[in-house]
C-alpha cells in the first residue's frame, strides 16, 4: 500500500478527511474458507481536496492485489446491464456517425460486453484494455481482442503505433479506479484523434449526498467524481469537457464527454450541472462533514433494524454480493450471525465467503428454495428489476430491505 500526500487532480496538499469506513479488505477479494485469517485490511477513509473538491482515497492498495484473480464480470453485474450497453453502443454509433472502420477502444473493458455490442453492430475495429489477466482471457476467448495491462500513457503510445489513433475511447467505471489522473489524460491525448471523443461513466457524487450511497466507496474506487473538479482537471491538461448526462445505472452515474478544445460544441448541460453542484454546496468542506454524520446515523438505524428483526427470530440474508455491499457490511460489522448467506448469479463468487465478514455466497436458485423472511438488498442499484424478478418470493412473504435512499425502506 502507498499513501498519497497530494490531490491527484490539482496537486494541493489540503486534503481533509471526512469519513472513516474502518479498515477493510478489498471489496472484491472473496475468499475460500481455508483463507480465513490471511486477508489484508487497509484503511478506507474518504478525503476531500479543499482546493478543487475532488473526493478521493489517499491509501492506495497495490493493483496486483486488487485485480489478481478478479471475480467481477460485467455480463453478470445485473439484470439491466446488457440492455444498457446495447443502448450505449447504438447511441455512440449514431451520435458520432461511426462507420465500419472506426477504431473504438475501451479502458477497463472487463469481459468485453460493451465492445461486443459494437462488434455485433458491424463495428469490428475494437480493442479492450483491462488490468485483470483472468478476465482479459475470458474476453479474448469470446472474440473481443483485449490487452491485459493497466491503462497508461505508455500503453496508449503502443496502441497508437500499432493501430493508429482512436475515434472513440470509452472508460466505464474506470476513471474513478485510476490513481494517476494526469497519466490517464496524457494517454487519452496520445491515442485520441483530433475529432475523437473520450466518454466515461462513473458513480456521480451527487447520488451520495441525495441517497447516502456511501457504499460506492471502496479501495478500487480511488475517486468519487463530480463535474466541477473533473472539468477543471481535463482543462488544465489540454482537453475539454463538452457534454454530460446522468444515467440511472449503478445507482446514478455521470456520463461525461471529453474532446480536444474546439472540436465539439459545448452543451448547455455542462454549465447546468456545475451550477447544480455549487447549489448543493459541494464546493464547501463543511458539506462533506455533514454527509459523514448522516452516513453514521444511517448505519446506526440500519444495524438497529437488523438486530430487531433477529431478536424477533426472523431469518435474514443478503440479496447480491456486489463490491459495494461489502463496504456496507464491513463498515457495519455485519457477519453470518446476522445474514445467513448472500445470493449471487456470478459463478466466480458462488461457494466463496465475502471479504472481511465471511458470509457464505450461494446461488440465487438455492436462495429461492430456502428463502429467508427478509433480504437485505445489497444490489440496491437494481432494486426495481430484482423486485420484479422475485415477485413469487415476495408473494410467499419474503420482504426486501432497501438500505440506501432518503430513508430505510422495507418492501
Task: For 202-246, write each residue's pLDDT tens digit.
Answer: 999 999 999 999 999 999 999 999 999 999 999 999 999 999 999
- The label of the residue with cell 446491464 reads 81
- Residue 219 and residue 229: Cα distance in Å, rounded? 20
Mean pLDDT of the region 67-72: 61
**Residue 391 belongs to a domain:** no
**Residue 149 belongs to a domain:** yes
Does 381 score more than 60 pLDDT?
Answer: yes
Task: Name which of 5-14, 127-136, 257-266 the model is least confident about.
Answer: 127-136
Please count the CA atoms within 13 angstroms of the CA of 160 that sit on its side-chain side.
19
Does 172 score more than 80 pLDDT?
Answer: yes
Domain extent at residue 199: 74-285
The pLDDT value recorded for residue 251 is 72
The pLDDT value recorded for residue 73 is 58
The rounded Cα 361 to chain-centroid distance in angstroms is 21
**Residue 25 belongs to a domain:** no
Structure confidence by residue, pLDDT tens digits, 262-309: 999 999 999 999 999 999 999 999 999 999 999 999 999 999 999 999
Q: What is the CATH number of the domain that holds 269?
A: 3.40.50.150
**Residue 94 belongs to a domain:** yes
- Cell digits of residue 174: 474506470
Domains: count for the chain: 1
Query: Buried b vs exposed e over 199-212: b needs ≥16 C-beta within 10 Å?
Result: bbbbbbbbbbbeeb
Q: What is the CA radius of gyration of the chain?
A: 21
Does 25 score more than 60 pLDDT?
Answer: yes
The pLDDT value recorded for residue 213 is 94
**Residue 56 belongs to a domain:** no
**Residue 78 belongs to a domain:** yes
Cα angle 280, 283, 288 (rounded to 5 degrees) comes to: 75
- Cell digits of residue 398: 419474503
Q: Strand, coil or helix: what is 98?
A: coil
Cα angle 169, 157, 234 (rounded to 5 degrees) comes to: 50
- Residue 38 and residue 374: Cα distance in Å, rounded? 31
The pLDDT value recorded for residue 71 is 57
Nearest of 47, 42, 38, 56 to residue 2 by alpha carbon: 42
Structure confidence by residue, pLDDT tens digits, 51-65: 999 999 999 999 888
Mean pLDDT of the region 33-45: 96
Q: What is the pTM of this model?
A: 0.92
**Residue 369 belongs to a domain:** no
The pLDDT value recorded for residue 76 is 47
**Residue 10 belongs to a domain:** no
The pLDDT value recorded for residue 27 is 94
Amino acid at each position: 500500500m502507498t499513501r498519497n500526500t497530494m490531490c491527484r487532480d490539482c496537486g494541493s496538499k489540503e486534503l481533509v478527511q471526512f469519513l472513516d469506513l474502518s479498515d477493510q479488505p478489498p471489496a472484491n477479494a472473496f475468499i475460500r474458507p481455508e483463507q480465513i485469517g490471511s486477508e489484508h485490511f487497509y484503511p478506507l477513509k474518504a478525503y476531500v481536496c479543499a482546493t478543487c473538491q475532488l473526493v478521493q482515497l489517499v491509501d492506495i492498495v497495490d493493483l496486483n492485489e486488487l485485480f489478481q484473480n478478479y471475480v467481477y464480470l460485467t455480463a453478470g453485474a445485473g439484470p439491466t446491464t446488457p440492455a444498457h450497453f446495447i443502448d450505449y453502443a447504438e447511441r455512440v454509433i449514431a451520435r458520432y456517425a461511426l462507420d465500419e472502420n472506426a477504431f473504438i477502444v475501451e479502458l477497463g473493458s472487463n469481459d468485453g460486453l460493451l465492445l461486443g455490442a459494437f462488434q455485433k453492430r458491424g463495428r469490428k475495429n475494437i480493442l479492450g484494455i483491462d488490468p485483470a489477466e483472468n478476465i482479459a482471457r475470458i474476453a479474448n476467448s469470446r472474440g473481443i481482442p483485449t490487452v491485459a495491462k493497466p491503462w497508461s500513457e505508455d500503453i496508449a503510445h503502443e496502441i497508437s503505433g500499432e493501430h493508429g489513433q482512436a475515434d472513440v475511447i470509452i472508460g466505464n467505471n474506470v476513471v474513478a479506479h485510476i490513481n494517476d489522473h494526469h497519466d490517464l489524460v496524457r494517454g487519452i491525448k496520445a491515442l485520441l484523434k483530433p475529432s475523437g471523443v473520450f466518454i466515461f461513466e462513473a458513480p456521480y457524487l451527487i447520488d451520495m449526498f441525495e441517497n447516502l450511497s456511501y457504499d460506492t466507496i471502496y479501495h478500487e474506487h480511488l475517486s468519487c467524481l463530480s463535474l466541477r473538479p473533473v472539468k477543471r482537471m481535463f482543462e488544465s491538461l489540454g482537453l475539454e469537457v463538452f457534454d454530460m448526462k446522468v444515467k440511472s445505472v449503478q445507482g446514478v452515474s455521470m456520463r461525461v464527454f471529453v474532446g480536444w478544445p474546439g472540436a465539439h460544441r459545448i452543451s448547455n448541460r455542462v454549465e447546468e450541472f456545475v451550477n447544480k453542484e455549487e447549489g448543493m454546496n459541494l464546493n464547501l468542506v463543511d458539506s462533506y462533514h455533514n454527509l459523514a454524520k448522516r452516513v453514521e446515523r444511517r448505519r446506526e438505524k440500519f444495524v438497529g433494524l437488523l438486530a430487531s428483526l433477529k431478536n424477533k427470530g426472523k431469518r435474514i440474508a443478503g440479496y447480491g454480493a456486489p463490491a459495494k455491499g461489502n463496504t456496507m457490511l464491513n463498515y457495519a460489522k455485519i457477519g453470518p450471525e446476522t445474514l445467513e448467506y448472500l445470493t449471487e448469479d456470478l459463478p466466480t463468487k458462488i461457494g466463496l465467503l465475502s471479504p472481511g465478514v465471511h458470509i457464505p455466497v450461494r446461488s440465487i436458485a438455492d436462495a429461492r428454495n430456502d428463502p429467508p423472511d427478509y433480504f437485505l438488498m445489497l444490489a440496491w442499484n437494481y432494486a426495481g428489476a430484482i423486485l420484479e424478478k422475485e415477485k413469487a418470493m415476495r408473494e410467499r412473504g419474503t420482504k426486501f430491505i432497501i438500505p440506501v435512499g432518503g430513508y430505510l425502506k422495507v418492501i
